[in-house]
Structure 1
Amino acid sequence: MIAKIGKGANLYGVINYNFQKVASENGQILGLNNMPESLNGTYSVSYLMKCFDPYLTANHKTEKTIRHISLNPDPSDYLNDEKLVAIANEYMTKMEFEKQPYIIFKHTDIERTHIHIVTTCVRSDGRKIQDYNDHKRSMAICRNIEKEYGLLPATEKLTKDELNFRPVKYNKGNIKSQISAVVRYLPQHYQFQTFGGFNALLSLFNITAEEVKGEIQGQPKNGLVYFALDEKGNKASNPFKASLFGKKAGIEFLHSHFDESKIAMKSSPAKSILKNTCESVLALTSSEAEFKKQLAKQGINIVVRRNDEGRIYGVTFIDHESHSVWNGSQLGKNLSANFFNEYWTIGAKPINNDDGLDQINDLPIHHLFDFIDEGILNNLTENFIEGMGSIIPGSPGEDFEEVDFENRMKRKSKRKRRKL
C-alpha cells in the first residue's frame, strides 16, 4: 500500500474535488470521524466544511492546515468497504489523527480502487499536530498495515518490477489519464535514441506524439502533443499538450533522454544479442507475420512503418528484455527498412552468417509470453499488446486528475506567498 500526503490551505478545493468523484458515480463517502452525521444521510460541500470551522478558527498562525491523504492498496488486493474503513481508521490513529475530524472517500474511477481522507492538522485547542518526518512515519505505518491485513507489500512489488503500463482504450474515457500513465514513465524504463523510436514504443500503447514548431516574438519554439490511436493506428482523440503531463513528457526532456540513451546503448551487449536473435529468426521465416510471431516469443516487438504506396520506410525493434529500442539499420543492413521492403515484396534472400541454427520451432518461448495461447500467437499483429493486456514493466496506475489537482494547489500556494 502506498500513501500520499498532500498539504494545503484550500479546504473547499479538496472536498469539492472528492465530491466531483461522488457526483460522477466514481466515488462515495465511506465514513466520517469526529463529525456529526446528517439526519438524512446525505452531505454537501458546505455542510462538511462547517464541521471543520471550530478547528480552523482556533489557529490563525498555521498556513497549511488541510491534509489530503490517499491510501493506495495494490489492485490485486480485494478489500470491501468495511476493510477500507478499518485500514483508514488504523492509519489515522497511528498518525495521531484519531481525534481529528476527517472524511473517508472511496474512488473507483481507475482500475486501482483507493481511498482519500480529508482532515486538518489543527487540534480543537488550536495546537498543530506535529508533522516532522511524517512521510517516513507514514511509510512505516503502511508496512505494518500490509502485514496485519495480508496486503501485497508495495516495496516488494516495486523491486520485482511488476507494475504495468496499459494500452490506451480511446472509447473508455479518461483518455488524458490513460496517456499520462504511459508517457510520464516510459523514459524511466526504456532507452531510445530518436523521436521515431519513442513513437514506435508509444504505438504499442495506442499513442502517438507529434512535434509542433513555431515562433513566438521572433524566437523559435518547439513543443509536443500526444494523441490516442484506434485499433487501426488512426488518431482517435484531440491533441493533448505535453505540458499537461509534466516535464518528463516534454520535448526538452526527451532530447536529453535521447543523448543519454545513445551513450548507454553504444556499449550495450544487448545490441549483438538482439541482432543475432533477429537474424536467426529471419533465416527461418518467409513472411512478415511469421517473423513478428517468432520474435514475440523472444520478447521482441517489431514496428513496421509504410507509406501510402505500401513501401516500408522504417523498421524498429523493441527489446523488452533489455528495455531498449533500436532502428533496424543500427543492427545491420539485413535488418534495415530497405532490406525488408525487398525481402517481403520481391523475395530477396536474407543474409545468414550462421549455418548451425536450430529450427525455429525448437526455440523456447520467452518467459514474458508463457501465458499466451499458441492460437493467439498465430494471429499476432504489431498491435498485439492491445489484445492481451499489459506485459511490460511500468508505472503504477495513477489518476492524472489527482496529480493535476495537486499541482494546481501547489501553484496557488506559491502565488499567495509572492503576494505576501
Structure 2
Amino acid sequence: MVAKISLGNSLYGAICYNGEKINKEKGRLLDTNKIYNDGSGTVNLHRVYEDFMRWMPSHTKTERPMMHISLNPHPDDRLSDTDYTALAHEYMQKMGLGDMPYLIFKHMDIDRHHIHIVALRVGTDGKAVSDRNNFYRSKDITRELERKYNLHTAERQRITSDMPIRKIDLSGDIKRQVANTVKMVGMRYKFQTIGEYNAILGLYNIRCEQTDGRVNGREYHGLVYFATDDNGNTIASPFKASRLGKFASRTAIDSRMERAKDNIDIRPTKQSVSEAMAESSGKDDFIARLKERNIDLILRHTDTGRIYGATFIDHNTRTVLNGSRLGRQFSANALEQWFTAGERPSVVPIQPDTRQEQPQPDTQPSQSDSQQPESGNAQSNTAGQQTTGGKSQGHQPFSQGQPSQQFQHSDTSAHDDVPSIPGLDLFHTGPGFDAEEEAFYRAMQRRKRKKRRGPRL
C-alpha cells in the first residue's frame, strides 16, 4: 500500500476536491471523526467546514494546519467499504492523528479504488502534531497493515530514464499519467521554447499553456496542463503545475529551456533530416523516411490548411527543434512550398563545425582556405593577401606599431577602419559574413582594451 501525504493551508479546497468526486458519482464519504456525518455517503460542504473551524485554534504558528492523505492499495487487492474504513482509522491512530478531526473518502474514478483522508493536524492548544520522519513512519505503518490485512506489497512507481512514455489512457488515473509524462519528458528531451515543449508533449496527448496575470496586486506566471485525445480535444479538467509537482512548474521548465541553449547540437539532426529530404519525393515519403530515422515531424496548419509551423523531434539525440532552427530550407514556408508546389528546398551539405576552435596568434591560412569567391564586379581577395591598385601584397604579420590590413570587409565605408588581431585573419567578412564570428571578434577587441587599461583600483 502506498501512502502520499500532503500538507496545506486550504481546508475548503481539500473538502471541495473530494466533494466534487462525490457529485460526479466517483466517490463517497465512508466515515468521519469528530465531524458530522449523516451516513448518506455525501457531504454537506458548509456544515463540514463549520465543524472543522470549531476545532481550529484561534492562535497557531503552524502555517499548514491541514493534512491530505491518500492510501493506495495494490491494484490486485479488493477491499470492502468496511475494510477501507478500518484501514484508515488504524492508519491515523498509528500516525498519532487518531484524536484529530478528519474525513475518510473513497475514490472510484479509476479501476484502482483508493481512499483519501482530510485531517486537521493542529490541536486546540495551537500545537501541531509533529511531521518529523513522516515518510519513514508512514512506510513502516503501511507495511504493518499489509501484513495484518493480508494485502499485496505495493511500492510507489519510480521514474527512470529507460521507462517508456505512453499516451494518456482514459481508463487510468489521468492526473498521475500527466505528471509522469511531464516528468519523463523534462528528464530526457531538450527544447528551447514552449512551442517545442508542446510539440513533444503532444505526441502523448498532453498540452501545456502559460498563465499570466495578477492576483491581489501580485503578478503570477504559471503553467496549466491539459489531457487531450488524438484530435487535440480536452478530455479532463486542467491541472495546475503545482498539483503535478515542482518539475512541472514554470520555473523548472524555464530553467530547462535556458540550459538547453548551451547543450543542443543541431548537426546530427540536421544531417538526418537533410538525407531524408534528399531521398524523398513528397510529404508522405518525407515523413516516412524521417520515421525510419526515429524522427517525428510535427506540422501545424492554419484553418485553410497552410503549414505555419514545423517541429522536428529527434528521439536519437532527444532534441526538439523548430524547422527554422535547423535552417531556412527546413522552415514551415519551405516545406509548404515543397508539399504544395513541388519546389524542393535546396539542401546545403553539412560542414564540420569549427567555431569552437580557439584561434592561435601564429595561425597561417592554408592555400585552400584563402580562396574567396567573387561577388559582383569585386576582385577576388584572400585572407592572407590584399589586392590594392591591381597589385597583390603579401600577408604581413600584425604589429602594434603598424595598423593591419588583414581584416578585409565588403562594405569599406563601414569597416575599413577596423583593425585586426592575431589569428583572426581566418575570419573574413564580405560574401561569407557570419554574425557569430563578428561578435567573437568584438569580444576579443574588448578584452584587449581592458588589458591595456590595467586593473581597476
Relative contact order higher in (CA < 8 Å, ≥ 6 apart): 1
Partner of 1:200: 199
User: Which moved further from structure 2: 22-31 or 127-136?
Assistant: 127-136
Unaligned runs of 5+ in 1: 355-420
State the one-letter code of the partner of 1:315.
Answer: A
> Secondary structure, in 3 states, of the residue corresponding to 2:159?
helix
Report the CA distance between 1:30 and its aligned residue. 3.0
Whole-Å separation in 1 of the counterparts to 2:249 and 2:112: 27
RMSD after superposition: 5.8
Report the CA distance between 1:265 and its aligned residue. 1.5
Partner of 1:316: 311
Unaligned runs of 5+ in 2: 351-457
State the one-letter code of the partner of 2:200.
Answer: L
Identity of aligned residues (%): 35
Partner of 1:292: 287
- Trace 1:2-401 onto structure 2 (pairs within 5 A): 2-7=2-7, 14-32=14-32, 38=38, 44=44, 56=55, 63=62, 66-72=66-72, 79-82=78-81, 84-85=84-85, 87-89=87-89, 91-98=91-98, 102-109=102-109, 113-121=113-121, 129-142=129-142, 149-154=151-156, 156-159=157-160, 162=163, 166=167, 187-204=186-203, 205=205, 207=207, 209=209, 254-266=253-265, 271-275=266-270, 277-279=272-274, 281-282=276-277, 285-293=280-288, 295-296=290-291, 299-306=294-301, 312-331=307-326, 335-337=330-332, 340-345=335-340, 346=342, 348=344
CA distance change for structure 1 residues 353 and 97 in 2, over 3 Å: closer, same or farther? Answer: same
Whole-Å separation in 1 of the counterparts to 2:58 and 2:220: 47
Q: Deviations over 1:357-391 (max 9, x none)?
A: xxxxxxxxxxxxxxxxxxxxxxxxxxxxxxxxxxx
Whole-Å separation in 2 of the counterparts to 1:274 and 1:103: 54
User: Which moved further from structure 2: 185-194 or 223-232?
Assistant: 223-232
Query: TM-score, normalization: structure 2?
Result: 0.52
Report the CA distance between 1:112 and its aligned residue. 6.7
Whole-Å separation in 1 of the counterparts to 2:60 and 2:222: 43
State the one-letter code of the partner of 1:319.
Answer: D
Q: Deviations over 1:150-170 (max 9, x none)?
A: 35421x53236648575599x
In proportion to residue count, which structure has more helix?
A: 1
State the one-letter code of the partner of 2:159.
Answer: L
Report the CA distance between 1:50 and its aligned residue. 8.4
Report the CA distance between 1:262 and its aligned residue. 0.9
Q: Deviations over 1:125-170 (max 9, x none)?
A: 998643322234334545676797335421x53236648575599x
CA distance change for structure 1 residues 260 and 50 in 2, over 3 Å: closer, same or farther? Answer: closer
State the one-letter code of the partner of 2:257.
Answer: F
CA distance change for structure 1 residues 30 and 151 in 2, over 3 Å: closer, same or farther? Answer: farther
Partner of 2:431: none
Find the structure with the greater CA-based Rg: 2
Say if 2:67 and 2:120, in contact at 8 Å, map to a contact too.
Answer: yes
Whole-Å separation in 1 of the counterparts to 2:166 and 2:260: 21
State the one-letter code of the partner of 1:119.
Answer: A
- Trace 1:399-410 onto structure 2 (pairs within 5 A): none
Query: TM-score, normalization: structure 1?
Result: 0.55
The alignment covers a number of residue pairs equal to 340
Report the CA distance between 1:264 and its aligned residue. 1.8
CA distance change for structure 1 residues 210 and 352 in 2, over 3 Å: closer, same or farther? Answer: same
Say if 1:143 and 1:153, in contact at 8 Å, map to a contact too.
Answer: no
Whole-Å separation in 1 of the counterparts to 2:258 and 2:197: 13
Report the CA distance between 1:104 and its aligned residue. 1.8
State the one-letter code of the partner of 1:27.
Answer: G
Say if 1:328 and 1:336, in contact at 8 Å, map to a contact too.
Answer: yes
CA distance change for structure 1 residues 107 and 296 in 2, over 3 Å: closer, same or farther? Answer: farther
